Amino acid sequence: MVGLAHLIETCVGIPVQITQDGPICRAENRMMVEVLGIDLTPISKVKWSDHTAVVMVDSQPKTARHSFNGEANIYAVIDHHQTPGDLDGVPFLDIRRGVGATCSLVTRYLTEQEVGIPEHVATSLFYGIDTELSGFPREANAIDEMALQTLYALADRDCIARIKNAPLPETFYESLLQALQSSFVYDKLLISWIHELPNPELCSQCVDFMVRLEGIRWAICAGVHDEQLTLSVRSNVPRAQAGEILRNVVQKMGGRAGGHDRRAGGFLPLPSNSRTAVEQVQSEFRTRILKALQIEEPRGRRLVSRGEMMRNLL
């Protein structure tokens, strides 16, 4: 959004309003907004009009990943996800699922139009690309690599360091502890359950850590938040098609999901937050995902044994 706003204001001279859709939960993202002084308008406070042109970035219409409900015309959709949206009637589409980061596309726009990239814009774009390409194996192509090379010389690397090392809230450690204590290994798959998830971003932060377990090829973290089971998936298998696999499983259970080859996310609706209701949904999801990944091991082993947990309480 920062890169596109700079492009539009420079080339066309039209004012751009950058919106915030919901709370910013991830510590690194909050730090980026703070240190770079990014001016965000809550989407609930936007004054829509017939002259408003909406550009949807890193998302697609009617995918349940945003709260925009057609209050104004969508002029463009720029994305790189495998999550298909309702794109009928959108004049400009640039959806490149082989690109690792939408920020790489925006960087390409800026260089093609020979628009100078200020330091704060370069820093935002560089961090956005670097975050999307983190982990192994990297999901990057030539557009991503060229964008990183272009931006590295222009970005404020001290700011990047501050963003990457943003202070973490206590809730992160509480969620990580829950995830560790309720992690089960099924062959090459690890599933972690968090029964009380303070915010959905913590799910992805926990699974980023879990997938690094030796011998694991797939990691899933699922947490209860706002009567939904939030899901985050990671894989270190090349061309794993994580987004497609999760979407196929979740859609059959009335949920939504999408993502990339090795990173995906989604949610499942819960009939209630009671332990019984949650466990029923967990059980069905576990059965379906094991089948989808062709893992014939219905009973997993605990990552941390109950005995070890009890000893740690003494």
Q: What's the pLDDT tens digit per position in 39-78?
A: 999 998 999 988 899 999 988 888 766 778 878 889 999 9
Given a cut of 70, whether residue 125 has pLDDT beyond it is yes
- Residue showing tokens 């192994």: 136
Q: Does domain 170-313 have CATH number 3.90.1280.10?
A: no
pLDDT at 310: 63
Q: What percent of the chain has pLDDT over 70?
A: 97
State the pTM of this model.
0.84
Condensed to tens digits (0 to 9), the pLDDT of residues 192-205 reads: 999 899 998 999 99
Arithmetic mean of pLDDT, 18-32: 92
Alpha helices in the chain (DSSP H): 2-11, 27-36, 102-112, 119-132, 142-152, 157-164, 170-181, 201-210, 242-251, 275-292, 306-313
- Asked if residue 165 lies in contact with residue 183, where contact means CB atoms within 8 angstroms, the answer is no
For residue 197, what pLDDT is reported? Answer: 92
313 pLDDT more than 70: no
Superfamily name and number for 2-164? inorganic pyrophosphatase (n-terminal core) (3.90.1640.10)
Residue 114 pLDDT > 90? yes
Considering just the CA atoms, what is the radius of gyration of the chain in Å?
A: 20
Residues of the chain with CATH 3.90.1640.10: 2-164
Q: Where in the chain do CATH 3.10.310.30 domains reside?
A: 170-313
3-state SS class at 94 = strand
- Which pLDDT belongs to residue 228? 94
Name residues whose C-beta falls within 8 Å of residue 53's C-beta, 6 or more positions apart in sequence: 72, 73, 75, 76
